[in-house]
């Protein structure tokens, strides 16, 4: 029977099957961060259980880490979380990239960067944005803390098979339109439950012409469409990305892996439970106006009126959203003034994102009254940016390149804005309070964030005056 | 985990959709909250509870153990904190047209039932509960129904979650009984797959 790529990965990972349709699935890579794991280790200790495969487990410090001020964690939330994280990883024999480690970064940035996230593998992490690794052709999904404990103890998870959904994106993205705009437009169309219970496989010309990092942005935000996972099957772009990375076999062994990786593609006649088709050429930069990621419009559009929503639930949500966001229906998005810009996160904290920002800022300065937070996704990304001299462009624009971490994507490291402030952010969620209680978040692409930082209002690069 | 087969309790109507886990448990509170699975009730919907007329602050709904919410409940972050706070507050059952997948699994792992009812049924329950806040609802996990007055609504709830909640099992213990199967799988697993410990582990 014809199979999807996700089914093939699933089938190669079944340890055993139950009569009730539940499979025990083997996990190839288990990533941990400090925020959602203390209770899992406490559970292991209570039951006197060990970690079955510490060498398939990797810890990183990303959520509570400061982005300025070095490795001192004394006092406050960093110490509170990092102290148990370090003890737990040490006691259970798990490698941990602590503050100061040259490979540290956001879990979903370092997995691909180190070549740990490989096609055909299963990857889990105590974080909903684990879907990012699907860009590598892996089946990758976020789990809760109880499941973390389960994977630590058994290296498996009992699960029902995911349903299959296909999003086909025809054509190619116009200049100035990014994977971020594509995924926002998709969520606007299918809603925050559009992918529920499914793994979304992305196909089509637009996907094949995307870089690996753009695919990561796309898969990353699959969770915002409610999907269990996002997936782009591996191709030459994937193989070239992986070649030479630390955890990937070298030489002839690499070629052997490529042959293996190539087997994880969907059969031509594989059937999908749900199908969506998008035209890349028709897309433009997008921005969220509300408090869930489906509340999105094109940057050249206006704030919608709640009365436009036929569905009473959506109408009520829109009423709440415009009130929280303090927006007047009918206002052109490009006239909305911004107090702060955040560039970074597992969605858009990679080198290509920083290059795009530098390109916009070259010969320009950010507006004096806009606070800008520029946070790379990993130490590797930061090093690369400095090697390329991007840091000098940032500095000339008036922005400091910080140290890596989740920072203001989730604002649990103390970096947050004040209630009532409005931000353009390259993160993934415009939820109420996501960047601090009462803070109003507009999710955008790196290019739009960079242009907005210069203009002081929502803008795209073509709106900016000439460089000096 | 306390097994649950049937449950009778009063309900809170939460007429909001897309109640993501950041609303159920604001991240900033999570990081100052308890580092164990208990003690989280004060942080449940911590920001919304600052609004005096928020439904959880209303005396007529005190003691409720069933939450009736709009669609897309528990989307967003995987934080299990959201479930711990709901359980710690006293909720045993959440009713909504749709749930975030990770949240629903986390709930089952903590004995909290996240049962899906069609939107008209949720609307009917809201109306009933708002008219009579102390009206008891009866949830039957075996039959997958919720009853109020003379009305009975069928809900959707996956078999594996249902079994888990009804039996209150330690799932890790169950899986560990299949350790031989796991060992056998590992023996046939592709040897070249990556290891997380040091590049030197990859030769």
Q: What is the ipTM of this complex?
A: 0.97
Q: Which residues of A touch B118 (CB under 8 A)?
A: none
Q: What confidence tens digit (pLDDT) does each residue in A19-46 have?
A: 878 999 999 999 999 999 999 999 999 9
CATH architecture type of domain A5-274: 2-Layer Sandwich (3.30)
Domains in chain B (CATH in brackets) are: 6-190 (3.20.19.10)
Closest chain A residue to B74 measured between Cα atoms? A226
**Three-state DSSP class for A407?**
helix
Under the banding of pLDDT at 50, 70 and 90, the label for residue A49 is: very high
In this structure, how many other beta carbons lie within 10 angstroms of the beta carbon of residue A60? 30
Give me the count of residues in chain A: 468
User: What number is the average pLDDT over the span A272-289?
Assistant: 98
The pLDDT of residue B203 is 32
**Average pLDDT over all residues of chain B:** 94
Pairing type for strands A422-425 and A440-443 reads parallel
- Cβ count near A272 (within 10 Å): 20
Q: What is the mean pLDDT of chain A?
A: 97
Chain A, 260 to 319: residues with Cβ < 8 Å from chain B are 260, 291-292, 313-314, 316-317
Taking CA atoms, A373 is separated from A7, A179, A280, A409, A450, in Å, by 41, 21, 30, 11, 11
Domain boundaries, chain A: 5-274, 286-463
More confident position, B169 or A379: A379
Measure the CA–CA gap between A397 and A337, rounded to whole angstroms: 19
Which chain A residues are closer than 8 Å to B181 by Cβ? 15-16, 24
Look up the CATH number of domain A286-463. 3.30.499.10
In this predicted structure, the answer to whether residue A148 has a pLDDT above a threshold of 50 is: yes
CA-based nearest residue in chain A for residue B75: A226
pLDDT of residue A437: 95
- Share of residues in chain A with pLDDT > 90 (%): 96
Mean pLDDT of A204-233: 98
Q: How far apart are CA A345 and CA A158, in angstroms?
A: 30
State the Cα–Cα distance between residues B79 and A269, nearest whole angstrom: 38
- Out of A146, A197, A247, name the one closest to residue B80 (CB): A146
For residue A76, pLDDT beyond 70: yes
Two domains, one topology: A5-274 and A286-463: yes
Q: For residue B201, what pLDDT is reported?
A: 39
Flag residues of chain B having pLDDT under 70. 198-203
**Per-residue pLDDT tens digits for B6-18:** 999 999 999 999 9
Cβ <8 Å between B160 and A158: yes
Tell which A residues from 99 to 118 touch B, by Cβ distance under 8 Å. 115-116, 118
Closest residue in B to A78 (Cα–Cα) = B31
**Structural contact between residues A293 and A189, judged by C-beta atoms closer than 8 angstroms:** no
């Amino acid at each position: 029977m014809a199979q999807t790529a996700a089914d093939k990965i699933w089938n190669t990972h079944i340890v055993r099957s139950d009569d009730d349709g539940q499979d025990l699935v083997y996990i190839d890579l288990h990533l941990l961060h400090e925020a959602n794991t203390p209770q899992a280790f406490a559970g292991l200790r209570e039951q006197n259980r060990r970690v079955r495969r510490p060498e398939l487990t990797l810890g990183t410090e990303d959520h509570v880490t400061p982005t300025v001020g070095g490795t001192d964690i004394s006092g406050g939330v960093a110490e509170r979380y990092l102290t148990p994280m370090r003890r737990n990883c040490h006691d259970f024999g798990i490698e941990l990239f602590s503050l100061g480690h040259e490979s540290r970064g956001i879990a979903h940035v370092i997995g691909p960067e180190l070549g740990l996230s490989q096609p055909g593998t299963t990857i889990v992490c105590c974080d909903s944005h684990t879907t990012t690794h699907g860009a590598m052709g892996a089946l990758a999904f976020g789990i809760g803390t109880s499941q973390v404990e389960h994977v630590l103890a058994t290296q498996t998870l009992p699960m029902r098979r995911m349903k299959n959904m296909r999003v086909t994106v025809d054509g190619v993205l116009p200049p100035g339109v990014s994977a971020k705009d594509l995924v926002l437009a998709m969520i606007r169309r299918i809603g925050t439950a559009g992918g529920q219970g499914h793994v979304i496989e992305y196909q089509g010309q637009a996907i094949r012409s995307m870089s690996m990092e753009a695919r990561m942005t796309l898969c990353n935000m699959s969770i915002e469409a409610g999907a269990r996972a996002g997936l782009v099957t591996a191709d030459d772009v994937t193989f070239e990305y992986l070649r030479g990375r630390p955890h990937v076999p070298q030489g002839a062994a690499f070629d052997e892996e490529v042959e293996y990786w190539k087997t994880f593609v969907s059969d031509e006649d594989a059937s999908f439970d749900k199908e969506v088709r998008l035209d890349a050429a028709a897309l433009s930069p997008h921005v969220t106006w509300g408090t869930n990621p489906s509340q999105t419009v094109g940057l050249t559009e206006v704030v919608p009126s709640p009365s436009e929503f036929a569905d009473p639930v959506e109408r009520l949500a829109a009423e709440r959203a415009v009130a929280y966001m303090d927006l007047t229906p009918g206002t052109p998005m490009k006239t909305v003034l911004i107090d702060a810009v955040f560039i970074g996160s597992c969605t858009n904290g990679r080198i290509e994102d920083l290059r795009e920002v530098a390109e916009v800022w070259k010969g320009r300065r950010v507006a004096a009254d806009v606070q800008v937070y520029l946070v790379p996704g990993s130490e590797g990304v930061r090093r690369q940016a400095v090697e390329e001299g991007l840091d000098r462009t940032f500095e000339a624009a008036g922005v400091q390149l910080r140290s890596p971490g989740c920072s203001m994507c989730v604002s649990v490291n103390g970096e947050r804005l004040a209630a009532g402030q409005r931000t353009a952010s390259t993160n993934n969620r415009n939820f109420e309070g996501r960047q601090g209680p009462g803070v109003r978040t507009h999710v955008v692409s790196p290019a739009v964030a960079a242009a907005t930082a210069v203009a002081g209002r929502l803008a795209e690069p073509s709106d900016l005056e000439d460089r000096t | 985990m306390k097994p649950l087969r049937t449950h009778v309790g009063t309900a809170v109507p939460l007429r909001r959709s897309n109640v993501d886990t950041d609303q159920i448990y604001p991240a900033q509170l999570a990081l100052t909250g308890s580092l164990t699975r208990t003690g989280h009730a004060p942080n449940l919907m911590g920001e919304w509870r600052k609004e005096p007329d928020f439904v959880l602050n209303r005396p007529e709904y005190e003691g409720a153990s069933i939450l009736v919410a709009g669609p897309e409940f528990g989307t967003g972050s995987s934080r299990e904190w959201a479930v711990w706070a709901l359980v710690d507050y006293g909720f045993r059952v959440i009713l909504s047209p749709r749930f975030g997948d990770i949240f629903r699994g986390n709930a089952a792992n903590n004995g909290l039932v996240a049962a899906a009812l069609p939107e008209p049924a949720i609307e009917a329950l809201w109306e009933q509960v708002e008219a009579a806040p102390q009206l008891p609802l009866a949830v039957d996990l075996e039959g997958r129904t919720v009853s109020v007055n003379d009305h009975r609504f069928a809900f959707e709830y996956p078999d594996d979650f249902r079994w888990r909640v009804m039996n209150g099992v330690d799932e890790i213990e169950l899986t560990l009984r299949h350790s031989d199967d796991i060992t056998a799988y590992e023996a046939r697993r592709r040897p070249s797959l990556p290891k997380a410990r040091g590049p030197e582990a990859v030769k």
